[in-house]
Structure 1
Amino acid sequence: MKELKERYLERLSELYPTIAKASTEIINLQAILNLPKGTEHFLTDIHGEYEAFSHVLKNGSGSVRRKIDDVFGNTLSSRDKQSLATLIYYPKEKMDRIRQTEESMEDWYKITLYRLIEVCKCAASKYTRSKVRKALPKEFAYVIEELITVRPEVSDKESYYNSIVSTIIGIGRAEPFIVALSELIQRLTVDHLHIVGDVYDRGPGPHIIMDKLKNYHSVDIQWGNHDVLWMGAAAGQRGCIANVIRICARYGNLDILEDGYGINLLPLATFALRVYKDDPCECFKLKGEQNRDINEKQLEIRMHKAMSVIQFKVEGQIIKKNPGFHLEDRNLLDKIDYERGVITLDGKEYEMLDINFPTIDPKHPYALSKDEEEIMSRLESAFLNCEKLQDHMRFLLNKGGLYKVYNGNLLYHGCVPLKEDGTLKSVRLYGRSYKGKSLYEVLESYVRKGFYALNKKEKERGKDMMWYIWLSENSPLFGKDKMATFERYFLAEKETHKEKKNPYYNLLENEKVINMILKEFGLTEESAHIINGHVPVKAITGESPIKCNGKVLVIDGGFSRAYQKQTGIAGYTLIYNSYGLILAAHEPFESTEAAIEKESDIHSDSVVVKRVLERKMVGDTDIGQELKEQIEDLKMLLQAYRSGEITERM
Structure 2
Amino acid sequence: MKKYDDIQELKYLKLLSSKFRNISETTIEIINLQAILNLPKGTEHFLTDIHGEYPAFNHVLKNGSGTIKEKINDIFQDTLNNFEKKELASTIYYPQEKVEYILKNKKNPDKWLKDSIYRMLEVCSVTASKYTSSKVRKAMSKDFEYILQELIYERKELPNRKEYVENIIDTIISLGRGKEFIKAIADLIQRLMIDKLHIIGDIYDRGSSPHLIMETLIRHHNTDIQWGNHDMLWIGASLGNLACIANVIRICARYSNTDILEEAYGINLLPLATFAIDTYGSDSCKSFIPKGEKKSQLMAQIHKAITIIQFKIEGEMSKRNPQFELEKRQLLDKIDYDLGTVELEGRNYLLNDRNFPTIDKNNPYILTNEEREVMEKLEKYFINSEKLQRHIDFFFTNGSVYLKYNSNLLYHGCIPLTESGELKRVCVFGEELKGKEYLDKIEEIVRKAYLYRGRKDKQERYNDFLWYLWCGKDSPLFGKDAMKTFERYFIDDKITHIENKNPYYKLYNEESVCRKILSEFGLNPNISHIINGHVPVKTLKGEKPVKAKGKLFLIDGGFSKAYQKETGIAGYTLISNSYGLKIVEHEPFESLEKAICEGRDIISSTRIVEDSSVNRIRVKDTDIGRELQTQINDLRKLLKAYELGVIPQEIKKD
Q: Answer yes or no: same fold by TM over 0.5.
A: yes
Structure 2 CA distance for partners of 1:150 and 1:553, relative to 1, 3 Å: same
Instruction: List per-residue Cα deviations over 1:274-302 (Å, max 9, x = no partner).
Output: 00010000111101222x6xxxx111110
Residue 530 of structure 1: CA displacement?
Answer: 0.9
Partner of 2:380: 381
Residue type of the alignment partner of 1:82: K
| Distance (Å, rounded) in 2 between the aligned partners of 1:152 and 1:382 | 59
Contact 1:196 1:533 in 2 (8 A): yes
Q: How does 1:242-321 map to 2 (within 5 A)?
A: 242-290=246-294, 297-321=296-320
| Distance (Å, rounded) in 2 between the aligned partners of 1:95 and 1:110 | 12
Residue type of the alignment partner of 1:552: L
The DSSP-based 3-state class of the residue aligned with 2:63 is helix
Contact 1:446 1:461 in 2 (8 A): no
Runs (5+) with no aligned partner, structure 2? none
Instruction: List per-residue Cα deviations over 1:175-221 (Å, max 9, x = no partner).
Output: 21111111111111111100000000000000111011100010000
Q: How does 1:539-558 map to 2 (within 5 A)?
A: 539-558=539-558
Partner of 2:499: 499
The DSSP-based 3-state class of the residue aligned with 1:421 is coil
Instruction: List per-residue Cα deviations over 1:625-644 (Å, max 9, x = no partner).
Output: 00000111111111222222
The answer to whether structure 1 residue 469 and structure 2 residue 473 are counterparts is no
Residue type of the alignment partner of 1:402: V
Structure 2 CA distance for partners of 1:559 and 1:153, relative to 1, 3 Å: closer
Runs (5+) with no aligned partner, structure 1? none
Residue 599 of structure 1: CA displacement?
Answer: 1.2
Contact 1:410 1:518 in 2 (8 A): yes
Partner of 1:570: 570
Contact 1:13 1:637 in 2 (8 A): yes
Partner of 1:425: 424
| Distance (Å, rounded) in 2 between the aligned partners of 1:373 and 1:409 | 46
Residue 461 of structure 1: CA displacement?
Answer: 1.8
Output the TM-score relative to the length of structure 1: 0.97
The DSSP-based 3-state class of the residue aligned with 2:18 is helix
Partner of 2:636: 635
| Distance (Å, rounded) in 2 between the aligned partners of 1:27 and 1:269 | 66
| Distance (Å, rounded) in 1 between the aligned partners of 2:89 and 2:583 | 20
Partner of 1:69: 73
Residue 453 of structure 1: CA displacement?
Answer: 3.5
Partner of 1:335: 334
Contact 1:409 1:530 in 2 (8 A): yes
| Distance (Å, rounded) in 2 between the aligned partners of 1:543 and 1:439 | 30
The DSSP-based 3-state class of the residue aligned with 2:213 is helix
1:13 to 3, 17, 21: 17
| Distance (Å, rounded) in 2 between the aligned partners of 1:563 and 1:462 | 32
Residue type of the alignment partner of 2:422: T
| Distance (Å, rounded) in 1 between the aligned partners of 2:522 and 2:162 | 53
Partner of 2:443: 444
The answer to whether structure 1 residue 169 and structure 2 residue 173 are counterparts is yes
| Distance (Å, rounded) in 2 between the aligned partners of 1:589 and 1:431 | 48
Partner of 1:118: 122
Partner of 2:221: 217
Partner of 1:347: 346
The answer to whether structure 1 residue 4 and structure 2 residue 8 are counterparts is yes
| Distance (Å, rounded) in 2 between the aligned partners of 1:376 and 1:148 | 57
| Distance (Å, rounded) in 2 between the aligned partners of 1:456 and 1:230 | 18
| Distance (Å, rounded) in 1 between the aligned partners of 2:205 and 2:44 | 25
Residue 525 of structure 1: CA displacement?
Answer: 4.3
Q: Which moved more, 1:103-112 or 1:148-157?
A: 148-157
| Distance (Å, rounded) in 1 between the aligned partners of 2:541 and 2:113 | 48
Q: How does 1:116-155 map to 2 (within 5 A)?
A: 116-150=120-154
Contact 2:342 2:351 in 1 (8 A): yes
Q: Which moved more, 1:262-271 or 1:563-572?
A: 563-572
Partner of 2:647: 646
| Distance (Å, rounded) in 1 between the aligned partners of 2:171 and 2:156 | 22
Residue 7 of structure 1: CA displacement?
Answer: 1.9
Partner of 1:615: 616
Q: How does 1:93-104 map to 2 (within 5 A)?
A: 93-104=97-108
Instruction: List per-residue Cα deviations over 1:433-491 (Å, max 9, x = no partner).
Output: 11111111111111111110488555222211111000111011111110000000000
Contact 2:515 2:525 in 1 (8 A): no
| Distance (Å, rounded) in 2 between the aligned partners of 1:74 and 1:619 | 36
Q: Percent identity?
A: 55
Residue type of the alignment partner of 2:531: I
| Distance (Å, rounded) in 2 between the aligned partners of 1:375 and 1:486 | 22
Residue 154 of structure 1: CA displacement?
Answer: 6.7
Instruction: List per-residue Cα deviations over 1:587-641 (Å, max 9, x = no partner).
Output: 1111212222221111111111111131111111100000000111111111222
| Distance (Å, rounded) in 2 between the aligned partners of 1:126 and 1:66 | 16
Instruction: List per-residue Cα deviations over 1:336-370 (Å, max 9, x = no partner).
Output: 01111101110000011111111111111111000
Partner of 2:484: 484
Contact 1:43 1:555 in 2 (8 A): yes
Residue type of the alignment partner of 1:648: Q
2:64 to 33, 50, 60: 60
| Distance (Å, rounded) in 2 between the aligned partners of 1:508 and 1:80 | 45
| Distance (Å, rounded) in 1 between the aligned partners of 2:416 and 2:157 | 62
| Distance (Å, rounded) in 2 between the aligned partners of 1:428 and 1:450 | 19
Residue type of the alignment partner of 2:595: A
| Distance (Å, rounded) in 2 between the aligned partners of 1:87 and 1:469 | 43
Contact 2:156 2:165 in 1 (8 A): no
| Distance (Å, rounded) in 2 between the aligned partners of 1:443 and 1:564 | 31
Residue 47 of structure 1: CA displacement?
Answer: 0.2
Q: Which moved more, 1:155-164 or 1:189-198?
A: 155-164
Q: Which moved more, 1:590-599 or 1:412-421?
A: 590-599
Contact 1:558 1:571 in 2 (8 A): yes
2:52 to 48, 58, 66: 48
| Distance (Å, rounded) in 2 between the aligned partners of 1:172 and 1:493 | 66
Contact 2:39 2:131 in 1 (8 A): yes
The DSSP-based 3-state class of the residue aligned with 2:184 is helix
Residue 101 of structure 1: CA displacement?
Answer: 3.5
| Distance (Å, rounded) in 2 between the aligned partners of 1:73 and 1:258 | 49
The answer to whether structure 1 residue 357 and structure 2 residue 356 are counterparts is yes
Partner of 1:79: 83
Residue 97 of structure 1: CA displacement?
Answer: 2.2
Residue type of the alignment partner of 2:303: H
Partner of 1:532: 532
Residue 174 of structure 1: CA displacement?
Answer: 1.6
Contact 1:288 1:562 in 2 (8 A): no
Output the TM-score relative to the length of structure 2: 0.97
Residue type of the alignment partner of 1:634: L
| Distance (Å, rounded) in 1 between the aligned partners of 2:636 and 2:462 | 45
| Distance (Å, rounded) in 1 between the aligned partners of 2:175 and 2:383 | 51
The DSSP-based 3-state class of the residue aligned with 2:481 is coil
Contact 2:156 2:162 in 1 (8 A): no
| Distance (Å, rounded) in 2 between the aligned partners of 1:458 and 1:583 | 45
| Distance (Å, rounded) in 2 between the aligned partners of 1:533 and 1:509 | 14
| Distance (Å, rounded) in 2 between the aligned partners of 1:204 and 1:89 | 22
| Distance (Å, rounded) in 2 between the aligned partners of 1:289 and 1:585 | 27
Instruction: List per-residue Cα deviations over 1:372-431 (Å, max 9, x = no partner).
Output: 111111111111111111110000000000111111111110011000001101000110
Residue type of the alignment partner of 1:186: Q
| Distance (Å, rounded) in 2 between the aligned partners of 1:491 and 1:118 | 61
| Distance (Å, rounded) in 2 between the aligned partners of 1:138 and 1:73 | 32
